[in-house]
Amino acid sequence: MYNIAVLGAGIIGVSTAINIQKQIPSARVKIISEKFGQETTSWGAGGLFRPTAKFIRGIPEETIRRWARMGWDFYSSLAVSDQAKESGMQIVSGYILTQTKVENPTYKDCVYSFHEVSRKSAEEMGFGHYKYVYLVTTVIAIVKDYLPWLFKRFKENGGETEQRRIDDLNELVGVYDLVVNCTGLGSRTLFGDTSIFPVRGQLLRVRAPWIKHFIYTEEDAYLIPNGDLLVVGGCRQENNFNLNIETSDREGILERCYKICPALKGAVIDHEWTGLRPTRFPIRIEKEVLQLKRGRLMVVHNYGHGANGISMSWGTSLDAAELVKDALLSAKL
């Protein structure tokens, strides 16, 4: 029986842990993490399935499309199942507003529908100053439901958890046959990877039950229905580690969002949130054998998903779990 530790309890850690359980049913899998649940970056994300190749540099397009497809098959099957409520997967329609033509986006072959909106309709909806408006029907993951749902599956399969910060990888040598690194931004210090950096985002969750659709622009203004609440965002600030809520960011977000959706006025703020998108070009999914003071440590990495971590979590985790299986089999030979 293999002993495997997955480091990190965000969306990437738990998705990878479940896929390892599926691919190696005899393995003992433990998630070790400093933070769980609402303390993770994953918890607060908007969760819209709209993987954007622009934010995933250094990966072949066919791989990005394959990850998107694998994720879509899983999320969309949940959204139409009797697990939809519990898993937080919901079908949602909305508009993408842009000044440049969107020819063949990564998500086009996945989502339920993708159509260009006529000029007349775009103008009637107040989107006339955008050259192109697309109507898209996709899914959102309400992460505050989806993350606990995944943890429940993980525990039902015999998975264990431990709340602990790892500062020295030597602690894991001889205890685990393999360690999976899903620590996101934590890889900077734990694995010395300075190529991962934060892209700070701030958003609001408001009560606006009269707005049922999403609106997405390329100018840091978006609205995403999120269960009983509506996510209103956002911003993208590279290399900014600040986790405080900034008044100036809130004012900027609201000003931009009122412009694309005047109907937002009157919405009551439920809460605000900031998060750091763990960004790396390319996303790192690979095997490595580390020679540490206490001995060898087999590691599989899965981190650096940036703005696409929710959309890409399932697809990348399937590949990472496959690497875990390969690494263990080749070590046995």
- Footprint of ligand FAD (CB under 6 A): 7-13, 33-35, 40-42, 45-48, 165-166, 182-184, 186, 190, 201, 203, 233-234, 275, 277-278, 303, 305-311
Asked if residues 16 and 320 have their Cβ atoms less than 8 Å apart, the reply is yes
Nearer to ligand FAD, 122 or 179 (CB): 179
204 vs 267, which CB is nearer to ligand FAD? 204
Does an H or E element contain 90, and which?
Answer: strand 89-98
CB-nearer residue toward ligand FAD: 122 or 267: 267
Euclidean distance between the first and final Cα of the chain, in Å?
16
Going by DSSP bridges, is the β-strand pair 268-292/197-207 parallel, antiparallel, or unpaired?
antiparallel
Least distance between ligand FAD and beta carbon 133 (Å): 20
The CB-of-94 to ligand FAD minimum distance in angstroms stands at 12
Residue 317 CB, nearest approach to ligand FAD (Å): 10
For residue 298, the minimal CB distance to ligand FAD (Å) is 18
* CA–CA gap between residue 187 and residue 195 (Å, rounded): 9
> Which amino acid is it at 231?
V
Q: Is 19 helix (H, G, I), strand (E, B) or coil?
A: helix
Nearer to ligand FAD, 92 or 264 (CB): 92
Using alpha carbons only, what angle is made at residue 321 by residues 316 and 327, rounded to the nearest 5 degrees? 125
Contacts 24+ apart (CB under 8 A), 142-145: 142/47, 142/88, 142/89, 142/90, 142/226, 142/227, 143/11, 143/42, 143/43, 143/44, 143/45, 143/47, 143/88, 143/310, 144/38, 144/43, 144/88, 144/227, 145/85, 145/86, 145/87, 145/88, 145/227
From the CB of 182, what's the least distance to ligand FAD, in Å? 6
Decide whether 27 or 51 has the Cβ nearer to ligand FAD.
Answer: 51
Q: Which is nearer to ligand FAD, 182 or 267 (CB)?
A: 182
For the CB of residue 26, give the shortest distance to ligand FAD in the complex, in Å. 25
Q: Min. distance of Cβ 100 from ligand FAD in angstroms?
A: 21
**Smallest distance, Å, CB 272 to ligand FAD?**
11
The burial of 259, by beta-carbon neighbours within 10 Å (0-12 exposed, 13-18 middle, 19 or more buried), is given as middle
Query: Measuring CA to CA, which residue among 308, 7, 16, 332 is closest to residue 150?
Result: 16
Three-state DSSP at 48 gives strand
For residue 284, what are its two tokens? 């790192």
Nearer to ligand FAD, 190 or 245 (CB): 190
Closest CB to ligand FAD among 168 and 255? Answer: 168
